[in-house]
Structure formats: C-alpha cells, structure tokens
Amino acid sequence: MRARDDGAFESFAARVTPRLLRTAWLLTGDPTRAEDAAQEALVRLYVVWPRVRHDEPEAYCHRILRNLVVSTWRKERRLVLVDEVRDTPWNRTDDAPERLDLVRALALLPPREREVVVLRHYADFSERTVAEMLGISVGTVKSSASRGLERLRILIGDKGDAHVQ
C-alpha cells in the first residue's frame, strides 16, 4: 500500500473511531469487547482499503463490525454485561447512567432488533444502508426498528431504568 493510502486510512480511522466504538458498545454491552471489535473492524478494513476508500467506507466498516459482533453472539449464545462501565474517552458524558440503562435494555432485545435499532437510530444510517449491511429488505428494517423501539420504550420506562420481563 502506498504511503498516501496509509495517510488517508489513518485520517479516516481517526474520524470514525469514536462513532465505531459507541456503536460497538451498544451492540456488545461491554466496553472491552467493544474496543476489541472496533479495532478488529478497522484492521479488516485496512486490508481492503484500496478497494473501498472511494465508496462508503464508514458503512463498510460498520458492516464488518456488525458481522464480528454477530459472530461472537453465535459463539457465545449470550452476552455478559458488566455492572459498571469503565471510564474511557468515548463514553465519558453526563448521561452515563441513562446510557448504561440503554445498553442494558438493548441487551434484552432480540439480536436482529438490536442491530437495526443501533445501526438505524444510533449510528444514523439510512434504512436502505442498514438493509444492505444486514442483507435484509427495507421493510424488515422498518418493522424491526418499530418493534425494537417499542420494546425499548417499555424496558426503559419513564425513569430510564431497564426492567427485566
């Protein structure tokens, strides 16, 4: 790879890493696993960077991230959430308790709904992009998002506490 390609990748990675980490955290519920998944996604993107840099590299990177996380779900069949979130630069905010409630509630959603809600409403990808990333129809994205958001409203409630049903 030429040096100018490395520079373009480094610039891209610096720009998208915070967003990638937050998306990974919402999908995994664990900051350590989120860091690992985000780093692995960037490594895999680097390998194909010359082919994807002019298309939609951020969407492509999020697709890699999603595939890594789903692969982990399939291997483990369950997620283990931590009680406390380690203080890192990408999760330091005043709304940390509410965000932790959201992560806990997301963990209670079925995997497809969790993926769609995170990619569509948190990562802010279009319905079409999410459908392409997940290999599903736009209608499935819409229905999964609707069901997922309704379940989140029930789980989080007015106080922001996640309730186990």
* Block mean pLDDT (10 aa), the chain, length 165: 70 94 89 92 92 86 90 59 54 55 85 91 88 92 94 75 46
Where are the domains positioned within the chain? 3-156
Quote the pLDDT of residue 160: 46
Quote the pLDDT of residue 136: 93
Sign of the torsion angle spanned by Cα atoms 87, 165, 72, 58: negative
Quote the pLDDT of residue 133: 86
Q: Tokens 């409403």 map to which residue? A: 121
Q: Is 46 exposed, middle or buried (0-12, 13-18, 19+ CB in 10 A)?
A: middle
Encoded tokens for 42: 């960037």
Amino acid at 117: V
Quote the pLDDT of residue 93: 52
Encoded tokens for 162: 């996640």
What superfamily in CATH does domain 3-156 come from? PhyR, sigma-like (SL) domain (1.20.140.160)
Distance, in Å, from the CA atom of 165 to the CA atom of 19, rounded to the nearest integer, reads 30
CA angle (50, 52, 58) in 5-degree steps: 125
The whole-model pTM stands at 0.56
Distance, in Å, from the CA atom of 68 to the CA atom of 163, rounded to the nearest integer, reads 28
Yes or no: say if 81 and 29 are a contact pair by the CB < 8 Å rule. yes
